[in-house]
Amino acid sequence: MGIRVVLANAQPVMLEGLKAVFRAEPDIEVMGEAATGADALACATALRPDVLVMDIKFERDDDAAPLIRSIKEQLPDTQVLVFTAHADVELLQKAARAGAAGYVNYDISAVNLARAVRAVHGGATMINPRLARRLLADMDGGANGAAGWAALHRLTGRELEVLVELGRGLGDKEIAEKLYVSQTTIKAHLRAVYRKLRVRNRVQAVAFVANRGLLKTS
The reported pLDDT for the residue numbered 99 is 86
> Which one-letter DSSP state was computed for residue 154?
T
The full DSSP string for 160-181 is: HHHHHHHHTT--HHHHHHHHTS
The reported pLDDT for the residue numbered 141 is 46
Which overall architecture, per CATH, does domain 3-122 show?
3-Layer(aba) Sandwich (3.40)
The reported pLDDT for the residue numbered 206 is 77
pTM to 2 decimal places: 0.68
Query: Which helix H or strand E contains 90, and what residues bound it?
Result: helix 89-98
Query: Rounded to the nearest 10 degrees, how much is the dihedral formed by the CA atoms of 117, 122, 82, 2?
Result: 40
The reported pLDDT for the residue numbered 129 is 63
Q: Half-sphere exposure (CA, 13 Å, Cβ side) for 75?
A: 22
Q: Where are the domains of the chain?
A: 3-122, 135-217
Q: How many CB atoms lie within 10 A of CB 136?
A: 22
Beta strands in the chain, from DSSP E residues, in sequence order: 3-8, 28-34, 51-54, 79-84, 102-105, 126-127
The reported pLDDT for the residue numbered 217 is 35
Return per-residue pLDDT of the chain as tens, 218 residues.
689 999 999 889 999 999 999 999 999 999 999 998 889 999 999 999 999 999 887 755 556 788 899 999 999 999 999 988 876 677 777 787 788 888 888 888 898 899 889 988 987 777 766 666 666 555 544 444 445 566 777 888 888 888 888 877 778 888 899 889 999 999 999 999 988 888 877 777 877 776 655 554 33
* 3 state SS of 32: strand
The contacts of residue 139 (CB under 8 Å, 6+ apart) are: 199, 204, 207
CA–CA gap between residue 135 and residue 117 (Å, rounded): 21
Instruction: Assign a CATH topology to domain 135-217.
Output: Arc Repressor Mutant, subunit A (1.10.10)
User: Measuring CA to CA, which residue among 112, 88, 93 is closest to residue 204?
Assistant: 93
CA–CA gap between residue 98 and residue 78 (Å, rounded): 13
